[in-house]
Amino acid sequence: MNGKKLLYLLLAVAMLVSLAACNGAKPAEETTVSNPPVSGNESEPQSGGEEQPAEEPRDTMVYATATFGQKFSPFFATTAYDMEVVDLVCTTGLLPYDRGGAMILDGMNGTTRTYNGTDYPYEGMANCEIVQNDDGSVDYNMTMRDDIVFSDGKPADIDDVIFGIYVCMDPTYDGNSTLYALPITGVEEYRSGMDSRGNAIFADGENGYTENDKYTEDQYNEFWAYYNDQAGADFAQEIVDYCISNGYNSADDSVAACAANWGYELEEGATAKDFWDAIVAAYDTVEEAEEVETAGSTRLQLTVANLGEAYQTGVETGESAPNIAGIIRTGDYTMTVHMDSYDATAIYEMAFGVNPLHYYGDEALYDYANNSFGFKKGDLSGVKAKTTVPLGVGPYTFEGYANGVVTLKANPNYYKGKPAIEYLQMKEAVDSDYVPGTITGTFDFSTPSINDATLKAIKDANSNDELTGDVLTTYLIDYRGYGYLGINADLVNINNEPASDASKALRKGFMTLFAVYRDTVINSYYGDRASVIQYPISNTSWAAPQPADEGYRQAYSLDVDGNQIYDPSMSAEQRYAAAREAAIGYFKAAGFTYDEEAGKFTDASATYEIMIPGSGEQDHPAYGVAIAASEVLEELGIKLQVNDVVTSTWNNAIEGNTAMMWAAAWQASLDPDMTQVYRSDNAHGKGTNSNHYSVDDADLDALIDAGRASADTEERKSIYRDAMDIIMDWGCELPLYQRKNCYVASSIRVDNETMPKEMTPFHNWYSEIEALEVK
């Protein structure tokens, strides 16, 4: 796997984890339960012979999951699997998501949101009022319910929230929350003047010890010895662990097999140190190697983490403020977060966890009025000591982790009501065992990787040969991203005028032909694993147009005069013919001369190129689309060269803005802000060089800026709909497909009527777990 590609993936995953990190029993020495409940998956009573006693009602659901990192902390969880435990024990935060990923700001007393034309109820622990002030600053006024109780019976209030915020804002905090990056008034002043002892040593450099009051000479020498001799091997080992936990290795779980996934050939028996040496040898500098070939942590982070508490504790490096001026307690259940400027993405950080001060902190050290927030600033050792045993306000309590199984028990104090399923066992397994285990009864529920073999196994298990039947029930959930075809307007235009009507018509001629073949090709390539989408945004986003919306239509389904190209009665062949005629109209509008008798254009002399990253094996969902369109274009006298290239060639062409047309996929962010991808100051190699379409449109820029400046979700949705219309009018992007993830439940042992309806990445199988039942 390419290191940069992994980095992008990890950044997306880290964002999700960070959003939950500061979101939101007596400490146990052991993390196991003395008498764990049975799984409830015993064999059915045998027929015949003696009469079997009545089967006891099942009170346990077994969920198959991957290997835990055992950091079950709302502050320090690092894997998605650990975060699931945190979500179930600590909850996802004061403000929940709706099915489209928008924050619910008025859920304290219950509210409804429409999704795909259906109204759904939601309930949260707080309300949030956003006030944009005349000076450009903004206030987030939070009001929390006064009846929230922790699972140990102690009441929760706003001080528990403020405590958690200060943990994540601490100068030595090394978890995944990025709350400190927001423009909250006073954050920089509070975090300045202190750093962890390890970071302070690193900042002072490896130039020899100089006496100071931050660290000793022994600590200095120990730090640099570890950093230079061991941290590189730790860095490589983290990559190895990542490959193993995600099942990437095709051979075995050796270092050499893992290194092969990163493109490195190592000898059998190679060590993590050998892997690190190979990585360093491939780059001009060690720093470049570390930046690109990452599995999440830097050598500095690994050194500080592995050397222990002494190097993680804060030391003073200068002056700092005693508090964060923008975190304002206004009552026992209310607070205000004051930011110097508005940031549309900030609301996703405002979910805030309700993390028990009395458990993770020290109540004797909490005195808001005197700038004490539940722990000594710079010392998070008490918080970290509870990393393996979480406690919170979630639907379940943590009973223990033993033998690869996390056992959770229904929380009678949960604010939505005690869950119907008494025990939830989260059992470690490998992905290939998820479906077979759900069939045999080892598991009741699983989330397998979706591929043809998985879908076949599901269908084979059901007597009706469908994905849902008498043995298994399958839920296909849209993946948070989408595939597309792109065109660079700077390279595909008429007379070097990318924004002209003729240039737009040229590109829309290509897009009209690409678009008509999507249904056939995508269905053939993916089957049930993906669906065709119509707008340049992931279907999972709250801003995505829905089929029930007024004016919703298929991508590139209007001809040059604005008339519908297709009607519902058309067969596939008729649609192909209609698209061909519509494309001819667009190419005429682009200025090409069409010979009616010959049935082709006589002056389309340029050769256009589309790059498909199929590594020369034609293995890409866009390949068939491009080939089908190229054959029609050739009949029309227009040359489209389809190049099936290796990933590095494709990536270099896109990043270098030399790709005329290409196929790729976006990883969708939580917020639909379009600045990075479509704003003109990121085009033509400028800014972040991420607008590879070279769309340069003042009206689009204005809409993007308006969307980013608004705190009104409905207003922003309307703005982004108008922006997408402009993007499509430029003819620079064709949405191709939305891939699917899947959940698989036992039809025999799970009451699937109680599963949440229309699940999404933001409203998943345990979003309504209090109502979920087993049979």
Q: How far is CA 133 from the centre of its chain?
A: 32
Q: Please give the pLDDT value at position 349.
A: 87
- Give the confidence band of 16 by pLDDT, cuts at 50, 70, 90: very low
**DSSP string covering 472-502, please?**
EEEEEEE-SEEEEEEE-TTTS-STT-TTSHH
* Residue 574 vs residues 265, 555, 568, 586, 588: alpha-carbon distances, Å: 52, 17, 11, 19, 21
Average pLDDT value for residue range 376-385: 94
Give me the helix-helix angle, 80-90 and 3-21, nearest 10°: 10
Average pLDDT value for residue range 425-435: 94
Cα–Cα distance between 528 and 455 in angstroms, integer?
A: 8
Q: Please give the pLDDT value at position 196.
A: 87
Cα–Cα distance between 609 and 611 in angstroms, integer?
A: 7
Highest mean predicted confidence (pLDDT) among 308-317, 382-391, 613-622: 382-391
Indicate whether 49 pLDDT > 50. no
**Model confidence pLDDT, tens digit, residues 137-156:** 999 999 999 999 999 999 99
CB 753 within 8 A of CB 545: no
Q: How far is CA 348 from the centre of its chain?
A: 13
Q: Which residue has the higher pLDDT, 46 or 468?
A: 468
* Residue 426 vs residues 63, 64, 398: alpha-carbon distances, Å: 5, 6, 11
Dihedral sign for Cα atoms in the order 613, 615, 616, 621: negative
Amino acid in the structure at residue 206: E
Residue reference for tokens 């304290």 = 108
Cα–Cα distance between 167 and 160 in angstroms, integer?
A: 11
What contacts 702, CB < 8 A, 6 or more positions away?
none
What contacts 19, CB < 8 A, 6 or more positions away?
348, 349, 351, 670
The two three-digit tokens of residue 33, written as one number: 């339960």
Residue 153, Cβ neighbours under 10 Å: how many? 9
Closest CA to 164 of 375, 334, 416: 375
Q: Mean pLDDT across the chain, nearest whole number?
A: 89
Closest CA to 484 of 663, 611, 630: 663
Give me the helix-helix angle, 621-635 and 572-589, nearest 10°: 60
- Give the confidence band of 531 by pLDDT, cuts at 50, 70, 90: very high
**Model confidence pLDDT, tens digit, residues 233-285:** 999 998 888 777 666 665 678 899 888 877 788 998 999 999 999 999 988 88
Closest CA to 654 of 413, 443, 436, 488: 488
Average pLDDT value for residue range 571-582: 98
Dihedral sign for Cα atoms in the order 762, 766, 770, 771: positive
The two three-digit tokens of residue 298, written as one number: 């830097």
The two three-digit tokens of residue 270, written as one number: 């190679």
- Give the confidence band of 74 by pLDDT, cuts at 50, 70, 90: very high
What letter does residue 346 receive in the DSSP assignment? G
Dihedral sign for Cα atoms in the order 312, 315, 317, 318: positive
The pLDDT > 70 percentage for the chain reads 92
Closest CA to 31 of 385, 382, 312, 307: 385
Amino acid in the structure at residue 710: S
Indicate whether 36 pLDDT > 90. no
Indicate whether 24 pLDDT > 50. no
Q: Please give the pLDDT value at position 251.
A: 61
Q: Please give the pLDDT value at position 42.
A: 31
Residue 525, Cβ neighbours under 10 Å: how many? 17
Give the helix ranges, DSSP H, for 380-496: 381-384, 434-440, 452-461
CB 355 within 8 A of CB 392: yes
Indicate whether 395 pLDDT > 60. yes
Q: Please give the pLDDT value at position 94.
A: 95
CB 17 within 8 A of CB 176: yes
CB 734 within 8 A of CB 438: no
Name the least confident of 5-9, 544-548, 602-606.
Answer: 5-9
Q: Please give the pLDDT value at position 433.
A: 95
Q: Please give the pLDDT value at position 291.
A: 82
CA torsion 32-36-40-42 (nearest 10°) is: 100
Helix (H, G, I), strand (E, B) or coil at 141: strand
Q: Which residue has the higher pLDDT, 246 or 729?
A: 729
**Model confidence pLDDT, tens digit, residues 283-299:** 888 888 888 787 777 89
**DSSP string covering 114-137, please?**
EETTEEEEE--SEEEEEEE-TTS-
In degrees, rounded to 5, the angle at the alpha carbon of residue 626 between the alpha carbons of residues 623 and 630 is 140
Burial 499-510 (b: 16+ CB within 10 A, else e): eeeebbbbbbbb
Average pLDDT value for residue range 33-38: 28
Name the least confident of 453-467, 628-642, 666-680.
Answer: 666-680
Strands (E), 523-660: 530-532, 594-595, 600-601, 607-612, 639-644
The two three-digit tokens of residue 50, written as one number: 């003696």
- Give the confidence band of 409 by pLDDT, cuts at 50, 70, 90: very high
Helix (H, G, I), strand (E, B) or coil at 716: helix
Closest CA to 609 of 590, 595, 629, 592: 629
Q: Please give the pLDDT value at position 655.
A: 86
Q: Please give the pLDDT value at position 13.
A: 37
What letter does residue 344 receive in the DSSP assignment? G
Residue reference for tokens 């939830």 = 424
What contacts 342, CB < 8 A, 6 or more positions away?
132, 136, 137, 138, 709, 711
Q: Please give the pLDDT value at position 667.
A: 81
The pLDDT > 90 percentage for the chain reads 71
Q: What phi and psi values does residue 84 have, to the nearest 5 degrees? A: -65, -40
CA torsion 378-381-384-389 (nearest 10°) is: -140
Residue reference for tokens 């470690």 = 428
**Model confidence pLDDT, tens digit, residues 611-651:** 999 888 898 999 999 999 999 999 999 999 999 998 878 88
The two three-digit tokens of residue 424, written as one number: 């939830």
**Model confidence pLDDT, tens digit, residues 542-559:** 999 999 899 999 999 999
Give the helix ranges, DSSP H, for 97-230: 158-169, 187-191, 197-204, 217-229
Q: Which residue has the higher pLDDT, 207 or 516?
A: 516
